[in-house]
Amino acid sequence: MCQLKLTDFVSVLLKNKREDQFNLQSTVLFDHNYILSFLKKHSKFVVPHEILLVLIIENKFRLSLYLLQNMNIPFHIDFFTFAIQYSSYDIAFYLLKVYEVQISQNIQKAVDAHILAYDLNRQNLKSKLYMSKLLLNDFNFNQARNFLDAVSFGINDHYLEGNIFAHSSNPLLSMC
């Protein structure tokens, strides 16, 4: 028998927020207040680090921000790397601004996660390029090579967001 954790319940609440997930006009079953009250009610079973990672994966900026500020969760580099890998760039940019010193201490892990994000999906290219520009000074030679390999596919990509690689803020132009 598989042991269920509170983190699993929170994940289910986030995934099943609406009565009909494909209709934005459908009734909201589990709003943010409900999820927060659920966490408060079961606070002795909450593992804040795990709950925050679930919120980051689900791209829940306001809930993530609330947990960071009100549950006194110490920063861990996994918060930043998960935000990048799961395209939660609003959370990633917030973490970069607030926890810049801690991220710089683990910059190689952060850069590796950023390069992996290009391979995982082709969405949010503007945010990815801006993050590349911010992290560019911290790339080592191998990471720069891996980054160029990951981005080279996007240069020849013909869908609309792929055209961003011709933009003047392209980190490739800065590297050349």
Quote the pLDDT of residue 142.
80
Concatenated DSSP letters for 104-155?
Answer: HHTHHHHHHHHHHHHHH-S--HHHHHHHHHHHGGG--HHHHHHHHHHHHHHH
Q: Mean pLDDT, to the nearest integer, of 41-51?
A: 83
Structure tokens at 80: 């930043």
pLDDT digits (tens, 9 = 90+) for 17-39: 766 666 777 777 777 788 888 88
Quote the pLDDT of residue 58.
87
- 99 or 152: which leads in pLDDT: 99
Quote the pLDDT of residue 94.
92
Query: Which range is most confident: 54-58, 140-144, 156-160?
Result: 54-58
